[in-house]
Structure 1
Amino acid sequence: MNLQELVLNYKEEVVKSIQESVRIKSVQEEPLEGMPFGEGPAKALQHMLNLGKELGFEVENFDNYAGHIDFGTGSDEEMIGVLGHVDVVPEGKGWDHPPYEAKIVDGKMYGRGVLDDKGPTIAALYALKAIKDSGLKLNRKVRVIVGANEETGWGCMNHYFGKLNMPQPAMAFTPDSSFPVTYAEKGILHLMLSQEYNEELNFSIKGGVAFNSVPDSVVAEFPVSMRDSIFANLDIYNEG
């Protein structure tokens, strides 16, 4: 049996595992004892590590910051890395299906983390299971490194590679986003904009719940005195 046939045999298990993971709301919260990013990310991390153990791999949890799942043998200097994460950005509003239900509609699963990054990380684990079950011998160790704070600060990897000084893979990839390969990703910039205005000119702009996600809505409030100039500029924008 080839690897593709083996993977297809795991289809129901893969779907079930992704649904279990997505149903754990793992948005960063206030830290708790032993849970540096809150209860949700810690639970999601432990779920991923438990899955790795159930699939027959060696696992280790590093203070609920991050964990890794090992398969194969070989030196750390030649290790192949697979970098995933279990935390998610806030769900926002406007969902057609509940974001933490992992409901399947017309052959597609809907939920926060299905694509980024619980689903792809679990797919990588089952790919390793296919290699293991096939009897194929690897000359190098494969290590799936799982973070719990990728979305909002990278504290997971700062702890794992920085404080703990864990070995860097010789080569690695990230199973994050669309299949088969995303070879570039937009950057991220945190900035504050300010402008002085006449004291009588009061307005506000509010939108978004996280720096690294597109806002589901933005609300701007302007004084009535600016109405004509705003709509004039909107007409110019629409014509352009």
Structure 2
Amino acid sequence: MADFQDKSVLVLGGSRGIGAAIVRRFVADGALVTFTYSGSPEAAHHLADATGSTAVQTDSADRDAVIAQVRNSGKLDVLVVNAGIAAFGDSLDLDPDAVDRLLRINVHAPYHASVEAARQMPEGGRIIIIGSVNGDRMPVAGMAAYALSKSALQGMARGLARDFGPRGITINVVQPGPIDTDANPADGPMKDILHSFMAIKRHGRPEEVAGMVAWLAGPEAGFVTGAMHTIDGAFGA
């Protein structure tokens, strides 16, 4: 486990699932953690009370609110952008407003948060974006908008790695496959079809994703940037 004693960490979207596991991991490693939430105040306050972290309500669909939250966090050593939503359905029928909101949260917010964080990060800062294996592979219908948003993160990270590299600030994308969360439970209706694509036929655990995030934020990953790190039981293989 890396030592993040007194390091400042901001997690956008940290109240549940993968985000909550990331908050717990950084707190356990000694970091000072602030996380945002939008629609789960009870879960957010419970997590904050249990871990000693700080919960702040922020709508990731609001660009100015995202930028302000990053700016108001002061000197950041680590930014993790986990907030994201899905909009599934036939592309011919999907509500255009739902698609636009998805893009604001899944693409615009990570971009603006990363740029604002880099303005105030010290040399060697870390930015980690939670993407999805669906940025690489989309084996089912009805998820085109979601896949678009996750693929966009790949180009963003490659480009910002060039911009931030001279200051030793790294930016990486973690791409989970099926992970056991409220949104995609291990015993859910999609279990059999998802596992049929995988070499390791189980859902991943949020703690496993948090472990990868912690490594990317630590000193051993100082030469790793502009890269995609897939953790998916070979879903995308």
TM-score normalised by length of structure 1: 0.27
TM-score normalised by length of structure 2: 0.27
Structure with higher Rg: it is 1
